[in-house]
Every structure is written in structure tokens, then in C-alpha cells.
Amino acid sequence: MRKNTIQRKYFRTPFCADYWRQAFSELKNTRTLVFAALVLALRIAMKPLRIPIAADVNITFGFIVNALGSMVYGPVVGLLGGALSDTLGYLIAPNGVYFLPFILLEMGGSFIFALFLYSTDITPLRLILSKFCVNLCINILLNEPIMVLYYRDVLHLTTYQPFVLVRIVKNIVMLPIEGVILMTVFRAMIPALSRSGFHPAGKVDLDYTKKHIILLIVLFVIGAGSVTGYIIYDYNNKSFSASYTAQERLQKNKAMNEWVVSEKPTLKAEETVTVIESARSQVGKKEMTYELAVYRIDKEKFEEREAENYTLETLYGYSKSKAAKDDTLVRIGTGKALTDKGTISDTNPVGDHISMELTMTWNGETSP
């Protein structure tokens, strides 16, 4: 009886058609699917297991099973296994509200491990690079925006802060430890997997050398530099107003409205609403730049809606989109304001004033 319906070949890289034909053929291999089911069960069982080594830093073990499984069954079955791991893991041990995009994290980790380890030489270099790419691409760069979406769309909160330093340091600092764990486990498991026909005969040299230690240091620097660069880019291009809580938006709009009215004596505070449409800054600069929209309150429409618990506080709490949709407000101008971001506080919501430029429009005409 044949031990396996697939005669696995040896590949140096995944960039060839034969590699992917073999990877897809794993879906028809009963022994591979049974092995994948066992790996799936282990992945789910090991998710809660962790060893704390510092504040918010733990050694987990699910990645070991994921890496071994992906080495055996490849990227195609790996994607399927990742999807099932996320879904079944939630059904067995629910944690919060199910959010479909989280499935990409499990699938992505399996896919990356398989690209590095399936039907090829298993060396310290491949193991280190595979875990580095999972930590950087999946655990940091993909996980963080998904968490932002989860907080915004599922929990309806804007309190999640992406790219918190402790999570970044955790994934970078843990790389050497995880690399040693992977090499220890693979050194023990590969001979048995090869004898069983689950891994082609190839180079298996899993001893650390000086060059591997240097590689870990270089990857640490690259990872830290890449994430730092992304954080700086994100900080320089994002609008902080998108993350304001309802109370913060109310306080900041009211404070900005007072400033606008003081700059334009012809405006009355009780008839004017200023909405912060964006708030931007750049790393290394002390200024916060606000883009503003200035509105006049239509008294008749406002009075008609007062019975609906509709107050000035309602208008001051508007975001850019809500203000634009409310026909009680008539847009009469725009502006740009600069403040000292270092002075922003609960008692000084927008910071110390530096300068303001306003362009007011009345009946289609622009006035200075």
C-alpha cells in the first residue's frame, strides 16, 4: 500500500508552476487532510496556552503547530486551515464579538510559514525569516488596522490606539526566543515527518551560527525601522479628529467656535457653529493644524426641532459629515487654525492659539 498519494518534490522557491500544482494537489490527499485536521485541533487547543515573561509580553505556542503544519501541507491547505482555525476557535471558545476580518490573520500566518517551509530545505535562515515576516506583516502591519476596524465598526468605539509601542516591541523582541523554539521543535520533528513521507528529503541543518545571530540583529533593526517609519507616515497623514470621542468633539468644536467668533466680531456665538473637519500634525513639529467649517444656524428650522431634544450642544457635537447633512446649518465659511499641540488638555481642548485664517462666504460672495 502506498503511504502517500503525492510524490512530493523538492523546491528551492515557491515561484514556479510545479510548486503550486503540488500545493493544490494536497487538497486531494487523504493523509494530508487528516494531518491538517490534527494540526487544526492542536492549534485551537494551544491558543489559550501562554507563559508570561513581562507586562503584556507572553510566550505562546500556537505558532509552532502552525509552522509545522504549514511545512507539511503547504500554502493552499494552510489558507483553508487558517480560516477554520479562526472560525472554529471562536465557536469553541468565544471571546468578544466575532469579526470576519480576523480570519485574515490566521490565514496570513499559515500562508507565510508555508511559503518559506513547504517542500524545501529547512534551515535556521528560513525559520527566522518566516517568523520575522509573520511578526511584522501579520502581527503588526495587518493586525493593527483590523483592530481599528473592530473597535470602530463592531464596538462603536474610537479608543483603540494602533501601533502602541509595547505591542511592537513584543513582536520584535520575541523573535529570537521564537526562533530558538522553532529550531528546537523542527530538529526533533523533521526526521519523523520525513520517514512518514510528509517532508521530502532535503537539507536540515538547524544549528545556530554567528551569522544567524547577526541576522537576528539585522532583522530586529529592519523590523523596528520599518514599523517606526510606518508610524511616522501614519502620524503625519492621519486626521486626529477621526478618533475624537463625542465629548472631545463637543469640547473642541465649542472652543474653536469661541476663537472664530473672536476673530469675526460680526458673528454671534449663539448663531454660529464651527466644526473641526480635520486635525493634523507632523512628527517633530509643535503645531496642530485644524481645517474648519463655519456654519450659521437657521433659526426657524432650529426652533422647529427644539422639541426633539435638539439643542446647541447637539450642533456643537457634530462631525464633518453630520454637519454637512443637517439643513439647520448653513455653511458660511471655512478656515485654518494653528495651535500649540503641546498645550492641548482637558481645560484647553484645542491648545494655545498661534494663528487663524478664515474665508467667509455670504450670498455666494467672498469677504475677507
Domain extents in the chain: 17-237, 241-367
Question: Which residues are 292's β-sheet partners?
Answer: 276, 335
Mean pLDDT of 256-270: 90
d(Cα 221, Cα 48) in Å, to the nearest integer?
A: 30
Q: pLDDT at position 52, please?
A: 66
Quote the CA–CA distance of 103 and 31 in Å, as a whole number.
Answer: 25
Spatial distance between the Cα atoms of 334 and 267, rounded to a whole number of angstroms: 14
Length of the chain: 368
Within 10 angstroms of residue 97's Cβ, the number of other Cβ atoms is: 9
At 340-357, the pLDDT tens digits run 999 999 899 999 999 999
Per-residue confidence (pLDDT) for residue 3, from 0 to 100: 46
Rounded mean pLDDT, 226-252: 83
| Average of per-residue pLDDT across 112-120 | 93
Band of pLDDT at residue 54, cut at 50, 70 and 90: low
Which one is predicted more confidently, 368 or 315? 315
Architecture of domain 17-237: Orthogonal Bundle (1.10)
Do 294 and 276 touch, CB atoms closer than 8 A?
A: no
Q: What is the DSSP letter of 56?
A: T
From residue 80, alpha-carbon distances to 8, 60, 273 in Å are: 20, 22, 53
Give the whole-angstrom CA distance, residue 144 versus residue 255. Answer: 32
Task: Tell me the average pLDDT of the chain.
Answer: 84
Q: Average the pLDDT over each of 31-35, 306-310, 343-347 and give the range with the smallest value.
A: 306-310
Structure-model confidence comparison of residues 312 and 71, the more confident one: 71
Contact 43, 14 (CB under 8 A): no
Residue 128 zone, left/alpha/beta (φ > 0; ψ -120 to 50; rest): alpha
